[in-house]
Amino acid sequence: MNRSGNSSTMKAFVLFMPVLILYLIFIGGGFFRSFIESLGYLQFLGLTKLSLEYYKAVLNHKDFFIDLWFSIRIAFISSLTSTILGVIIAYCIAETKSGALKSAAVKAINTGLILPYLYSIFLAMTFFSQAGFVSRVLYQLKIISGTEDFPGLLYDPSGAGIMIAFVFKGIPFVALFTTNVMAHISGEFGDAARSLGAGKLRILRKVYLPLSSTVIVWCACILFAYYLGSFEVPYILGSLSPRALSSRLYSLYINPDIFKIPQTMALSILIFAIGIITTAAYAVLLKKLIGGRSR
């Protein structure tokens, strides 16, 4: 039995080797080059001395830690909200008895998933700007006296507009993967819980969440890491201060001063390192909150 298991593991490793080699060459090579450039080694610019001065320049920027907190807060709130709402939708689909309703819900989720993030930006601007659809409806209902009374959610220092766009795209992502897992959880577990007097919320908390914990944590962490590094949504919908680190990084990338390249790479490496640390901490936190055993 052990020999068979070892043989299967070795076979899987051998099959995985070509992919691993490609990752090491393209991703590992690119990361190594970025790291060297972040230390100031760029021969075509005449820079050959390794130094940490570019990291110091990034860390000593007056807004670095403000922007860092802003980025982590936006990523945390957006990913957590997307995960909670996505799981609730997945649970409702899993509990629905109507096949037609399930099919329609899954199609709606797939549609939301394939839409690009630029479309979510467009929807946020259309619906939640001060001259948008929601403010006009509220004005027509006499809830507000004018569209200028509608809160400025976009380009706001709170990052509300960014979070709206992120959540719009994050919900179908979580819902789709969680639905696939919850659909394979035996209905006997839920029936047994109901027979013991458990309500729907308790069944979700004690049955479905523990058995789906791995996919939920993975989805949440993928969203968190993506939101932390995404630049297009914060760049378009964000305020000038505070700014997401990814947005500041993009501004450095398009800076015509080529001597900013080492500082750009230093910020890129820092965002990468911060992303790994915070995503790992986020995963541990979610795992403890959800608990249980995944299928």
**How many Å apart are CA 116 and CA 209, to the nearest integer?**
29
End-to-end CA distance of the chain: 23
Tokens linked to 216: 């939920």
**How many Å apart are CA 208 and CA 175, to the nearest integer?**
13
Burial of 177 (0-12, 13-18, 19+ CB in 10 A): buried
Contacts of 101 (CB under 8 A, 6+ apart): none
The Cα diameter of the chain in Å comes to 77
Q: Which class would CATH give 63-117+156-290?
A: mainly alpha
Flag whether pLDDT at 78 surpasses 80. yes
The mean pLDDT value for 275-290 works out to 91
Please list the helix, strand and coil fractions of the chain in percent, rounded to the nearest 5, in that order: 75, 0, 20
- List the domain boundaries for the chain: 1-27, 63-117+156-290
pTM of this prediction?
Answer: 0.85
Please tell me the predicted confidence (pLDDT) of residue 3: 55
Q: What is the pLDDT of residues 126-168, one digit of tens each?
A: 998 888 899 999 989 888 888 888 888 888 899 999 999 999 9
Q: What is the pLDDT of residues 158-187, one digit of tens each?
A: 999 999 999 999 999 999 999 888 877 756
